[in-house]
Structure 1
């Protein structure tokens, strides 16, 4: 009885709440940015936001939607080959989201800390290459289990195929490789960028009192303050992302290196999996609340979608 209750609570969360929230929110964000990509949202940061939103839409369409049938019939109906594809998609989109956040952090670092060099560093060509590199690198890392380093398997309690977290030789190596080549360097780089941004904000505030006329009478000062305000939105996005990511990684690391109670670990893994998936749904709502230009344009897009 308890397992059935948990199943339907879990199903309601994923399919009645998370799936439509993730899909509608991110599609609305992409449409809003795309409509204004040549005018209001031509800056590099918005291309990174679109790439991040695209990964979240793909997560809902290509990953979550294929868990509905296993949830209903309690088995994986698509065969072993598609199980490998399904698991690979999950990891690709997870890595791509993280790497897009790294790109956003680097972009904001240059905008806030090195504004005079920003347009030299973040050229349209370089931004395109950064986005392409993020997706290619994410795909390569996700393909490693299919090539033999790691393993994707169907998990009945998750209704999906995902990475096997254990200390068997190939799985343990994969966890260590992805941690060393993606997760931990990304975390350190993001933290470094926003520490530098915080220091720049602090320094800028100190300079206002000393050269008040300069900051009040030049467009440069206005642009700096605008960049600092914009960085706050991305900081919140990244904090929200790591609030959902860190427990996921932490719980699975505990299961790797300890002999915790199996039933307890299943409950813990289901909980952090739900939090991890929530990361794909929260970003559009952060932008619609905190980012003034995006908030205004989303409202216009919603009004255009209303029936006449």
Structure 2
């Protein structure tokens, strides 16, 4: 979201206008309060915890309160996915559009700048795909249990496993990608590739350079 708000093409000063310190604090506090409120609803009689082995809220609770909670969770889940995809795709599109507008001037960009653009596009794409791929089965199985379609405990277990793996490894995966694109690591790989390229060129040019032209 921060990347989307700070895009310079649509409104150069949008970041300063939208992301003031007070506004950031207010939004963060509101999100925390909303998360706490949603998590405590089952303790207030709106659905309840203890479903299956993973102690989730009851997916198949068809009472008015239980169904309301499940539908709110589904809307929130799919809404977060759509919002994440929209922000990441818009930023990636803007970066690629900037590269097209710059044209030949892109050759003047430093290797570090090109690496930063490539790193962000790669991380945004991989994280979005992983988030959607791991969250969608969970939400689909939740909807199936709520509306009584294709009931299968084995499929529920598989969906929960994938969902939990994503939640547990997402931050570590991002850190791994950040380390993979670390300037020192990239420079070492770049130097190694350049060294091999030079050796290949020398090996190709070697036999021709050793030939002697005899005078007639």
Q: TM-score range by the shorter chain?
A: 0.5 to 0.7
Residue 170 of structure 2 corresponds to which residue in structure 1? 283
Residue 153 of structure 1 corresponds to which residue in structure 2? 50
Q: Does 1:168 find its partner at 2:86?
A: no
Residue 141 of structure 2 corresponds to which residue in structure 1? 251
CA RMSD in angstroms comes to 3.3
Match of 1:291, SS?
helix
User: Structure 1 residues 241, 133: CA separation in 2 closer, same or farther (over 3 Å shift)?
Assistant: same
CA distance in 2, matches of 1:250, 1:113: 37
CA distance in 2, matches of 1:277, 1:296: 32
Q: Give 1:179's match in structure 2, choosing from 50, 62, 74.
A: 74
CA distance in 1, matches of 2:46, 2:17: 40
Gaps of 5+ in 2: 185-216
Residue 158 of structure 2 corresponds to which residue in structure 1? 271
User: Structure 1 residues 217, 162: CA separation in 2 closer, same or farther (over 3 Å shift)?
Assistant: closer
Q: Give 1:144's match in structure 2, choosing from 15, 36, 41.
A: 41
Q: TM-score, normalised by structure 2?
A: 0.68
Give yes or no for contact 1:244–1:276 (8 Å, CA) kept in 2.
yes
Gaps of 5+ in 1: 1-105, 298-308
How big is the shift at 1:124?
4.2
Q: Does 1:205 find its partner at 2:102?
A: no
Paired residues for 1:50-129 under 5 Å: 106-112=1-7, 114=9, 116-117=12-13, 118-129=15-26
Q: Number of residue pairs matched?
A: 180
Give yes or no for contact 2:85–2:128 (8 Å, CA) kept in 1.
no
Give yes or no for contact 2:4–2:88 (8 Å, CA) kept in 1.
yes
How big is the shift at 1:143?
1.5
CA distance in 1, matches of 2:171, 2:182: 10
Give yes or no for contact 2:74–2:139 (8 Å, CA) kept in 1.
no
What whole-Å deviation, never above 9, does each CA across 1:25-74 have from its counterpart, x for those lacking one?
Answer: xxxxxxxxxxxxxxxxxxxxxxxxxxxxxxxxxxxxxxxxxxxxxxxxxx
How big is the shift at 1:227?
5.5
Give yes or no for contact 1:113–1:197 (8 Å, CA) kept in 2.
no
Residue 108 of structure 2 corresponds to which residue in structure 1? 216
What whole-Å deviation, never above 9, does each CA across 1:145-180 have from its counterpart, x for those lacking one?
Answer: 22222222252xx1x421101223221111112333
User: Structure 1 residues 230, 199: CA separation in 2 closer, same or farther (over 3 Å shift)?
Assistant: closer
Q: Give 2:32's match in structure 1, choosing from 126, 129, 135.
A: 135
What whole-Å deviation, never above 9, does each CA across 1:201-244 have from its counterpart, x for those lacking one?
Answer: 2211211216x17x8379xx94x973663353243223212211
Q: Does 1:194 find its partner at 2:81?
A: no
User: Structure 1 residues 150, 186: CA separation in 2 closer, same or farther (over 3 Å shift)?
Assistant: same
CA distance in 2, matches of 1:293, 1:125: 35
